[in-house]
Amino acid sequence: MLIKQMQMRIVEENGVNYRLLISDGQTQADLIFNIESKELIISGDHDLSQFLSDNEFQLRRLLHNKRPDSYYVGFQLKFSMVDGKDIAAFNNRDNLVVKDHGRISVISRTEKNNLSEVYTDGSYDEKDQQGAYSILKKDLEGHYEAHEFTSALMDSSSIELQAVIKALEIYPGDLRIMTDSQYVRKGITEWMVHWKLNDWYTANGTKAKNVDQWLKLEQLCEGRRVEFGYVKAHNHHFENEYCDFLAREKREAMKLKT
């Protein structure tokens, strides 16, 4: 699997059309991107332009996800692309994204690997500025073990990340983590590689949040297999609904003590 690291620079603006130069350190490709119509023109007949054309969908995801105000002459970004990456498989929320001793892949949720399942959820009340999270482990025999914790963090996404970190701290070895947070699932398996290349700046030129937590999560995934699955919140899924209940109960208990 070829992973190519590159750098993008915005060098010219003409209305809503932007000229981009992408370099891999040896060759440079010239692109024109329209931020309104999303029309993309890749120029050149060398290996780099061919690589970008062959993996155009990955490139488009990067360009499409950038906010319009982050397009300006002088903007620079380091990024990487995986040759032949199956974007549809990664985007399919019914699949599991796997971080296995540093390697990242996608498998069907129906694939059984004899791993305990750990469900996590977080709850935050903006009005009371109180948060909590829960962890529910289901072992191979179908037995459950639950934990609830308070959180000093001030937003739901950060608490969801904190919950997954705590689960990996509590339970060693290989695990299947089930979360209703796309922030966690995509962050550890897709976004972190780009953030680290750019000193933790995003494609929009803003600093990524929760850097210390992401580094901690990456450390906890080292030397083990962790499968990350997505569960839609409030969709009558027993384990997810129970995790949500435990987290809210823990949060409400905090309110009663204050």
Give the domain-ending residue among 85, 101, 131. 85
Please check whether residues 133 and 245 belong to one and the same domain.
Answer: yes
Give the per-residue pLDDT at 111: 86
Give the per-residue pLDDT at 1: 57
Cα–Cα dist 77/196, whole Å: 11
Please check whether residues 53 and 124 belong to one and the same domain.
Answer: no
For the question of residue 131 being annotated catalytic, the response is: no
Cα–Cα dist 98/74, whole Å: 36
Please check whether residues 122 and 41 belong to one and the same domain.
Answer: no
For the question of residue 45 being annotated catalytic, the response is: no
Of 121, 148, 227, 239, which residue is the catalytic one? 121
Of 131, 148, 180, 187, which residue is the catalytic one? 180
For the question of residue 155 being annotated catalytic, the response is: no
For the question of residue 122 being annotated catalytic, the response is: yes
Of 148, 160, 227, 239, which residue is the catalytic one? 160
Please check whether residues 20 and 109 belong to one and the same domain.
Answer: no
Q: pLDDT tens for the chain, 258 residues: list them.
A: 578 999 999 999 999 999 999 999 999 999 999 999 999 999 988 999 999 999 999 999 899 989 999 999 999 999 988 888 888 898 899 999 999 988 889 999 888 888 999 999 999 998 888 999 999 999 999 999 999 999 999 999 999 999 999 999 999 999 999 999 999 999 998 889 889 988 999 989 899 999 999 999 999 999 999 999 999 887 788 999 999 999 999 998 877 665
Cα–Cα dist 198/85, whole Å: 21
Contacts of residue 51, Cβ cutoff 8 Å, sequence gap at least 6? 4, 81, 83
Give the domain-ending residue among 65, 85, 105. 85
Please check whether residues 131 and 201 belong to one and the same domain.
Answer: yes
Please check whether residues 128 and 11 belong to one and the same domain.
Answer: no
Give the per-residue pLDDT at 256: 67
Please check whether residues 45 and 170 belong to one and the same domain.
Answer: no
Please check whether residues 71 and 104 belong to one and the same domain.
Answer: no
For the question of residue 126 being annotated catalytic, the response is: no
Total domain count, the chain? 2
CATH label of the domain that carries residue 131: 3.30.420.10
Give the domain-ending residue among 48, 68, 85. 85
Model confidence, pTM: 0.87
Strand partners, 225: 100
Please check whether residues 143 and 187 belong to one and the same domain.
Answer: yes
Please check whether residues 103 and 55 belong to one and the same domain.
Answer: no
Contacts of residue 185, Cβ cutoff 8 Å, sequence gap at least 6? 97, 179, 228, 229, 230
Give the per-residue pLDDT at 258: 58
Please check whether residues 242 and 118 belong to one and the same domain.
Answer: yes
Please check whether residues 103 and 209 belong to one and the same domain.
Answer: yes
Cα–Cα dist 90/78, whole Å: 21
Of 122, 131, 187, 229, which residue is the catalytic one? 122
Angle at 227 between CA 196 and CA 238, to 5 degrees: 125
Of 74, 141, 234, 236, which residue is the catalytic one? 234
Which structural domain, as residue segments, surrounds residue 156? Answer: 92-257
| Long-range contacts, stretch 238-245, CB < 8 angstroms, 24+ apart | 239/117, 239/119, 239/136, 239/138, 239/178, 240/119, 240/121, 240/178, 240/180, 242/119, 242/136, 242/146, 243/119, 243/120, 243/121, 243/134, 243/135, 243/136, 244/121, 244/123, 244/134
For the question of residue 180 being annotated catalytic, the response is: yes
